[in-house]
Amino acid sequence: MIYYLLKNFFRSRVYPIGLILLLVSGLISLEIGARFLDKVSGVSEKTAIHQQESIQRNVSYFNKEMGTLMYYLRFGLENETSRLAGLSIGQRDVYPSIQSLTIRNLEEQRYSTDLTNPLFQLLGNMDFSFVLIYLFPLVIIAFGFNLMSEEKEGGTWSLVRSQTCSPITFLRYKMGVRLGSVLLVLLILLTVAKFYLDIPLDLGFIIFGMISVMYVLFWFGLSWWVVSLEKNSSHNAQLLLSFWVVLNLLLPAGINVLQRWLFPIPEAMSAVIQNREGYHSQWDKPKEPTLEKFYVKYPEYTEFIHPQEADFSWLWYFAMQQAGDDEAGAQVEGLKAKLAQRQGLAKTLSWMMPSVHTQLSLNALSLSDMGNYLNYLTALEEFHEGKKAYFFPKIFGNQPVLEEDWSKFELEKFKDHPLPNWMGIVAPFVLIYLVLWLWASRNFKKSGIQMFKKNRT
């Protein structure tokens, strides 16, 4: 039976063409992912070189006073890109992977990003996750919508019922051939991706492949349930395409609208404006209150004193900069909290939306989701504080510039290490499989197909 089904499957022109289109689309997505990784790597290398050149150039220009030099020097922190990001770019093309900061106020610098063609951002990237989530289901629908109805409409269903011990077994084998062919294409693409994108064969890549397989199985399970309804081909195709539109387009858009409605957030620019107002207003105020607030936050610097009657000192200047960050602090924390709430809402709702759940899971594994970006923002704050803690005593104590070893300040990297939530990844798929399988079994049993046995008299 299997040999006959395989021969019949590949004899058709539609099915091999569908597999070839799927394979070609997947290979194109891998090329897009490879170019993205090359771009990120190139930016990292150029930034590291530029940072050293910039430091040496500024040291040669401003070597008389540490405070003047530190007004200009920038130090970079890179959000290290996982090789899996070549398969699921996520938000990596929206948020910057490298931030270069001075030790002045943080909030004015935090939201600096690269200029990107807005048309390209509108279209997005056809990465592997796009092919998996949007194109694989269309091919699966084309393969499975007429699994039983083509037999009935072609007049061969009565022959199947008379020649097989169990028609349901025949349908399972027929669906298994289609499932095997699609999984083979998926396996080929993942194998090519492993070598072409130089992805390490670690737990992350294994889980990535597992999620991809489970997503494919969901669409075959949904097709199996539709087949169990025993409707005609036109009805099955319309129903499955409706599910595709709802699950992949309407519900994700609905989640986005719900996030914006429940957790409205101000634009990053408003935090920058608040920050600017916070430190610019200090120019017209007495210096003592600004310094007192600075000493409360950083008591370790109380030994440094602003000269009386002086209009300017680096101690007061950086205290003023800190006042700007403090002014925008509550707004920034609120912004981060609402972004985290949006992420949490999407994860909760995705339990009944396999496409959203798959995208969120793949992005999390690829370190290209909102959670990774929020972790990077926290690391950026710690990085900025670390640089201030190192240089403030040298600035306030007026240490000679040339006594510092400036060659040691290289581009630093932040590496996120999320722990995979096995229950959160697997449970939604298992629950949906169980519902579809029980419902389909009930439908087949009700129609009598599963109970039918060949008459051997």
What DSSP assignment string belongs to 90-137? TTTTTS-SEEEE-SS-SHHHHT------HHHHHH----HHHIIIIIHH
Whole-number pLDDT of residue 249:
93
SS3 89: coil
Whole-number pLDDT of residue 453:
47
Number of domains making up the chain: 1
d(C-alpha 214, C-alpha 386), whole Å: 44
Residue 113 has pLDDT above 60, yes or no: no
Which residue matches tokens 């056809």? Answer: 126
Residue 263 has pLDDT above 50, yes or no: yes
Residue 48 has pLDDT above 90, yes or no: yes
d(C-alpha 335, C-alpha 267), whole Å: 9
| Mean pLDDT of the region 97-124 | 68
Does residue 226 fall inside a structural domain?
yes
What does DSSP say about strands 412-414 and 98-101: parallel, antiparallel, or unpaired?
A: unpaired
Tokens of 108: 């004015």
| Mean pLDDT of the region 323-339 | 83
Residue 119 has pLDDT above 50, yes or no: no
Q: Encode pLDDT of 161-214 as tens digits.
A: 777 767 888 888 889 999 999 999 999 999 999 999 999 999 999 999 999 999
Residue 451 has pLDDT above 50, yes or no: no
Whole-number pLDDT of residue 275:
57
Q: Encode pLDDT of 341-358 as tens digits.
A: 999 999 999 998 999 999
d(C-alpha 137, C-alpha 410), whole Å: 46
When mean pLDDT is compared across 110-119, 200-209, 238-247, the lowest value belongs to 110-119
Does residue 456 fall inside a structural domain?
no
Those residues with Cβ within 8 angstroms of residue 368's Cβ, 6 or more apart along the chain or in another chain: 82, 85, 88, 89, 90, 91, 92
Does residue 245 fall inside a structural domain?
yes
Residue 224 has pLDDT above 70, yes or no: yes
Does residue 327 fall inside a structural domain?
yes
Q: Write the Ramachandran bin of 367: left for phi over 0, alpha for psi from -120 to 50, otherwise beta.
A: left
DSSP code, position 164: S
Tokens of 252: 């994700």
Whole-number pLDDT of residue 199:
95
Distance of CA 84 to the CA centre of its chain: 10
Q: Encode pLDDT of 438-447 as tens digits.
A: 999 898 888 7
How big is the CA angle at 23 (ends 93 and 368), to the nearest 5 degrees?
20
Those residues with Cβ within 8 angstroms of residue 266's Cβ, 6 or more apart along the chain or in another chain: 331, 335
Whole-number pLDDT of residue 37:
95
Which residue matches tokens 């289901």? Answer: 137
| Mean pLDDT of the region 233-256 | 94
Among 437, 456, 457, 4, residue whose Cα is nearest residue 228: 437
Higher pLDDT, 122 or 134: 134
Please, which pLDDT band fits residue 118 given cuts at 50, 70 and 90?
Answer: very low
Distances (CA, A) of 77 to 134, 152, 417: 35, 63, 16
Q: How many CB atoms lie within 10 A of CB 331?
A: 18
When mean pLDDT is compared across 20-34, 247-261, 271-285, the lowest value belongs to 271-285
Boundaries of domain holding 198: 2-447
What is the phi/psi pair of residue 203, to 5°? -60, -35
The whole model's pTM is what? 0.89
Which residue matches tokens 């009657």? Answer: 309
Whole-number pLDDT of residue 449:
63
Q: Encode pLDDT of 351-393 as tens digits.
A: 989 999 999 999 999 999 999 999 999 999 999 999 999 999 9
Q: Encode pLDDT of 53-72 as tens digits.
A: 999 999 999 999 999 999 99
d(C-alpha 108, C-alpha 397), whole Å: 26
Does residue 176 fall inside a structural domain?
yes
What is the phi/psi pair of residue 135, to 5°? -95, -40
| Mean pLDDT of the region 3-22 | 80
DSSP code, position 266: -
d(C-alpha 360, C-alpha 265), whole Å: 21
Residue 120 has pLDDT above 60, yes or no: no
Our separate counts of H helices and E strands in the chain read 19, 3
Q: Write the Ramachandran bin of 126: left for phi over 0, alpha for psi from -120 to 50, otherwise beta.
A: beta
Which residue matches tokens 């399970």? Answer: 221
Percent of the chain with pLDDT over 70: 89
SS3 450: coil
Tokens of 251: 């519900």
Those residues with Cβ within 8 angstroms of residue 315's Cβ, 6 or more apart along the chain or in another chain: 291, 294, 301, 304, 305, 306, 396
Which residue matches tokens 């949006």? Answer: 342
Residue 303 has pLDDT above 80, yes or no: yes
Does residue 453 fall inside a structural domain?
no
Residue 140 has pLDDT above 70, yes or no: yes
DSSP-assigned beta bridge partners for residue 99: 77
8 A C-beta contact, residue 86 and residue 199? yes
8 A C-beta contact, residue 238 and residue 156? no
Tokens of 65: 């006073």
